Structure 1
Amino acid sequence: MAGLFESAGGGSAAIALDELEVSILRSLEVQMLELIGPGPGGDGGGDPLAALFADGPTEAPADPALARLFPDAYGDPERPADAESEAMAGEFRRYTELDLRARKREDALYVVRALDGLGGGGGVLKTASADCLRWLGALNDLRLTLGVRLEVTEEDEQGLYDLPDADERKPLVMAYLWLGALQESLLEAIAD
């Protein structure tokens, strides 16, 4: 896969994607939308006012990928949490997680719609400078999720390049590495 972002001037970016790249990226974003979902107590029953004042969850998600996307705001992840940091993290989560979920959904949906704008095939996709952060957020969420599912650590990231073709993780690893390259190229493009 060769599609990487390039500067389109003024903080905007462009990327040429073939049909396969569009399909893979769109599929991953749709799966992200399903994973994120509205969250516990987050649908508001269709009432926008109720949704605005809904309390979010106070417990971290049980799914490790969701826990990585919605980490605790207090405490040290390397040490067991004490009661005070658990309570502070729960209160913070209660007031912020639903909004964070909504933003992550909006970012993923934005990318899906942008890819759909290519008409089901490949093509050049241009992203205005104001929307590049949405792309970065969506790509980051995908990469974090795949990293958790693959149990990637900093120490073994280099080893991912050397996986044998017979390894069943190879397709996800290739997607993980490609998403990292997309992120890096987008950052470089908007910095130009």
Structure 2
Amino acid sequence: MAGLFESAGGGSAAIALDELEASILRSLEVQMLELIGPGPGGVSDDPLAALFAEGPSEAPADPALARLFPDAYGDPAKPADEESRAAAGEFRRYTELDLRARKREDALHVVQALDGLGGEGGVVKLAAAECLRWLGALNDLRLTLGVRLEITEEDEQGLYDLPDTDELKPLVMAYLWLGALQESLLESMSD
């Protein structure tokens, strides 16, 4: 997979994806949409009800979702005390639904851009504001794959040495590719 972002000037970027790259990225984003879901309590069509909706006060049980929606208080390396658990729950209650919605919108934005290629490869051009959406969506995918693969900072170099026969190799390759996409997008945005 060779498709990486290039600067299109003014904080915008472009990426040329072949059919396989576009298909893999679209599939990963669709899976992300399914993982994020509407969240506990669903999504209301009533704008007033949605405005006053409260989210969950407990962290998600799924480790990948817990990584995407971490507690805002307490030290992640230590067990939470009662005070930080209560503060994190209160913060989560008022923010998680909006955060889920933004993550869904970012992933959907990527899917729609890839659908614009018509199932074939091609060039996706992103305005500066779209770059931020893509960056968020790529980050969410990479975080999720990192949790699923149980990758730590110490593992990072070993990923490149994984034998081709390892059943995790396709996911590891996707993880590394997403990292390269993120890096190239950040570089493109700064040019």
What is the number of equivalent residue pairs in this alignment? 191
1:13 aligns with 2:13: yes
1:39 aligns with 2:42: no
1:100 aligns with 2:99: yes
CA separation in 2, counterparts of 1:71 and 1:130? 25
Question: Deviating runs (4+, > 2 A) in structure 1?
Answer: none
| Structure 1 residue runs without a partner (length 5+) | none
| Corresponding letter in the other structure for 1:26 | R
Counterpart for residue 135 of structure 1: 134
Contact 1:42 1:56 in 2 (8 A): no
CA separation in 2, counterparts of 1:124 and 1:96? 35
| Corresponding letter in the other structure for 1:18 | D
Counterpart for residue 181 of structure 2: 182
Deviations 1:102-131 (A, max 9, x none): 000000000000000111100011000111
Corresponding residue SS for 1:76: coil
| Corresponding letter in the other structure for 1:101 | R
CA separation in 2, counterparts of 1:166 and 1:178? 19
Q: How does 1:140-159 map to 2 (within 5 A)?
A: 140-159=139-158
| Structure 2 residue runs without a partner (length 5+) | none
CA separation in 2, counterparts of 1:136 and 1:42? 26
TM-superposed deviation, 1:83: 0.2
Corresponding residue SS for 1:126: strand
The normalised TM-score by structure 2 is 0.99
Corresponding residue SS for 1:2: coil
RMSD: 0.6
CA separation in 2, counterparts of 1:162 and 1:139? 23
TM-superposed deviation, 1:43: 1.4
TM-superposed deviation, 1:48: 2.1
CA separation in 2, counterparts of 1:73 and 1:66? 14
CA separation in 2, counterparts of 1:8 and 1:119? 22
